[in-house]
Structure 1
Amino acid sequence: MKILKAVIQLLTILILTISCSSKAQNDWLILKDSVFSEGTYNQNHFEIFGKYTSGYNLDVLKGIDKVQSSAMDGGGYFVGIKADPPESPIGYDLKLFGKDLFDLERTTSYCSGASYSAFIEGLNSIYSDSNKILNDAIFESIRMQEVDGSRREDGIKFWGNWNDDGYGNHFALVQYSGIGNVIEPKNAQPGDFMNISWKSGGGHSVVFLGWHIDKNDSLNVVYWSSQKSTNGLGDDVVPVSKIKEVMIVRLTNPNLLYNLEVDKPVDRNVSGYKINYPD
C-alpha cells in the first residue's frame, strides 16, 4: 500500500511538472507559449511570472504591472534630449514614497525610464507598510531631474548611472548603491534587471521575464521595457542571436539604499556575459 501511495505521489509530481507553463533546462527558465496569453500590453506579470521567482523580484513584477497600467496601448516611444518639450523617461507622474521624481512633460517613454520606473514602483511595494524615510540627499540622488528642472546628465547620481550608456543596471544597483547582485544568464529569473548590448551596436534596458525557444528551435529572450516595436511600454521577444552580451542584476538588499553615499564613484569598465545556452 505504501509503495502504491508513493507511486501515485510521483505520478502527480510528474503531471504537475509537465503541465506547468515553463520548464527548466540546466537552470534556464524556458517559457512555454501559454505565458503570452495576455498579449503585448500585459498587466498580469505578477500573476503569470511570479510563480518562477521569489523575494524582491515579486515586487518588481508588481511594479511592472503598475507602470504598464499607465499606458495600455504602450503610450508611445520617444527619445530626444534637445526636443521641445524634451524626452520623458516615463509617461506618468512617477513618485517614490509619495514624492515626485520629475516634472512630466510628455506621455511617452524610453527603455531605461521604463526599467527604472519598475524599480521605483517595486520599492513602493517593498516599503508600502514602512515608516522609513529617505533623507533629502538620498532622495535627490534618485530624482530624474536636477532641482532646477534641467536634465540629470548620464553618470550623475542614481538615475544618471542607471540611464548611462553601457551597463547602467550594474553602475546603479551593484556599484553605486550596493543593493543588487550580478546574476548569470542561466540563473536569471523574472524581475531581474537586464541590460542588453546588441551586436549591431547600442543597447537596451529591460526587465527580464524568461527565455523562449521558438518553432525554429532558436533561443529568444522575453522581457518588458519601452521600445519602438511595442509603441512604448510592453512585452517583447527578441532572438538571442542579435545579442552580443548582457548584464543581469537582481535586487537583493534594498535597505542599503538608506545608507547611500550620494557621491560614490563608479567604474564603467564592466564586461557583460555571453548567452551560452546548452545545445
Structure 2
Amino acid sequence: MKRFKGIFVFPLIFILIVGCAREIKMVPTSSSKGWFLLKKTDLKYGAHHTRHAKVFGKYVDGYNYFVLKGIDVVQSRFPDGGGYFVGKDSIPTESPIGYELKLFGRSLLKPPRATSYCSGASYSAFIEALNFILADRASQLDFEHYEAVRMQELDGGRREDLVKFWGYWNADGFGSHYALVQYSGMGVEVKPEEAVPGDFMNISWKSGLGHSVVFLGWYISGDSLKYVVYWSSQRVTNGLADQIVPLEKIKCVKIVRLTKPENLFQFDVDNEVNLDIEGDEIKL
C-alpha cells in the first residue's frame, strides 16, 4: 500500500482547500450587531494596498464584499494613489477618477487627467462592484439607464452636479444617499452603529467641508482614541488610499448600503431628490 500514498494525498488536499473556500452570495449585506470595530492587525497594510476584499471582506457577506473587490480593482491601477486634484475650471478640467471607467464594457468617462477626487473614487468602487454583481445581466442595461450613470455628457463635457446618477453622487452634501437611496432606489440608509465594511459614507467635517468615502470600520486605539477608517481619494494620501481619521473632526455622517443592484435597469431617470436631509452623529 505504500506506493499508493502519493495518489491519495493530492486529492485530499484539493478537497480540503475547495471545501474551505468561501461562497459569497448575491444578497444584501447584513448589518453589524453593534459597532463594528477593527483590530490593529486589520490596519497593517498601510494606506496603499489591494487587500480590501481579503482583510475587510472576511467580516461581511453579500454585495458589500464586491464593493471591497471594486476598491481593489480601482486601487490596483494606482498603487501609489495616482494623485489628487480638484478644479473644474482648470484646463484640463478635474477628473473624478484617473482611468476610463466602464460599466459592462461601456465607457462612463474619458478622464481629462490621471488624478482623482473623493466622490469619483467612491463612485468608481460602486461601478466596479456592479461589474461583478451584475455581470450576467449586462445585456439588460438599456441606453437610457447607461446614459444616466455616465460621468460625462455624450459630447465629453462635464456632467454637472444634480444631473442624473453621477450628478447626485457628486453633489455637495450626502451625495451617495441622494443617488443610491433616493434617485435610483438601489440602496438603503444605515445608522453608524449598523455600518460594516463596504458601505458608502458621506462625512460632514466640523471645518465645514465634506468627503465621500467607502467605510471600512471604526477603530479605538490603545490610548482609547476613536477613529473612522475608510477608503477614498484625498490630498494627504496622494489620491486613492485608506485613511484613519479621529472622530473628533467629524460633525456628522450619512451612511448607505447597496441592497438592490438590479434597480440599475429600471429606476426612473427623472426622479427628484430631497437634498434637505439631516446627518447622523457618531456616538461611539
What TM-score do you get using the length of structure 1 for normalisation? 0.89
Are 1:33 and 2:37 counterparts? no
- How many Å apart are 1:216 and its aligned residue? 2.5
Larger deviation: 176-185 or 28-37? 28-37
- Of residues 189, 194, 210 in structure 2, which corresponds to 1:187? 194
Distance 2:138 2:125 in 1: 21
- How many Å apart are 1:29 and its aligned residue? 1.1
- How many Å apart are 1:52 and its aligned residue? 1.1
- 2:215 — aligned with what? 208
Are 1:238 and 2:262 counterparts? no
For 1:146-165, list aligned pairs within 5 A: 146-165=153-172
Q: Which runs of 5+ in 2 are unaligned?
A: 1-31
- Of residues 134, 137, 141 in structure 2, which corresponds to 1:130? 137
- 2:151 — aligned with what? 144
Distance 2:221 2:94 in 1: 35
- 2:20 — aligned with what? none
Distance 1:256 1:135 in 2: 12
Aligned residue pair count: 253
Deviations 1:234-276 (A, max 9, x none): 0000001100000000000111111111111111001110001
- Is 2:97–2:115's contact at 8 Å kept on the other side of the alignment? yes
- How many Å apart are 1:132 and its aligned residue? 3.6
- 1:226 — aligned with what? 233
Identity %: 57
- 2:280 — aligned with what? 273
- How many Å apart are 1:186 and its aligned residue? 0.6
Tell me, what secondary structure is at the counterpart of 1:260?
A: coil
Instruction: Report the AA paired with residue 250 of structure 1.
Output: R
Tell me, what secondary structure is at the counterpart of 1:88?
A: coil
- Is 2:104–2:138's contact at 8 Å kept on the other side of the alignment? no
- Is 2:134–2:262's contact at 8 Å kept on the other side of the alignment? no
- How many Å apart are 1:130 and its aligned residue? 3.2
For 1:246-257, list aligned pairs within 5 A: 246-257=253-264
Instruction: Report the AA paired with residue 192 of structure 1.
Output: D
- 2:28 — aligned with what? none
Are 1:197 and 2:204 counterparts? yes
Are 1:50 and 2:61 counterparts? no
- 1:21 — aligned with what? none
| CA pair 95-131 structure 1, distance change in 2 beyond 3 A | closer
- 1:90 — aligned with what? 97
Tell me, what secondary structure is at the counterpart of 1:30?
A: coil
Deviations 1:60-91 (A, max 9, x none): 00000000001000000000001110000001
Tell me, what secondary structure is at the counterpart of 2:232?
A: strand
Are 1:61 and 2:61 counterparts? no
Instruction: Report the AA paired with residue 85 of structure 2.
Output: F
- How many Å apart are 1:26 and its aligned residue? 6.3
Instruction: Report the AA paired with residue 76 of structure 2.
Output: S
- 2:121 — aligned with what? 114
Distance 2:256 2:153 in 1: 26
What's the RMSD between the two structures over aligned residues? 1.1
Distance 2:141 2:216 in 1: 30
Deviations 1:136-182 (A, max 9, x none): 11100100011111111100000000000000011000000001000
Are 1:100 and 2:107 counterparts? yes
Larger deviation: 141-150 or 188-197? 141-150
- 2:9 — aligned with what? none
Are 1:77 and 2:84 counterparts? yes
Instruction: Report the AA paired with residue 203 of structure 1.
Output: G
- Is 2:99–2:110's contact at 8 Å kept on the other side of the alignment? no
- 1:12 — aligned with what? none
Instruction: Report the AA paired with residue 125 of structure 1.
Output: F
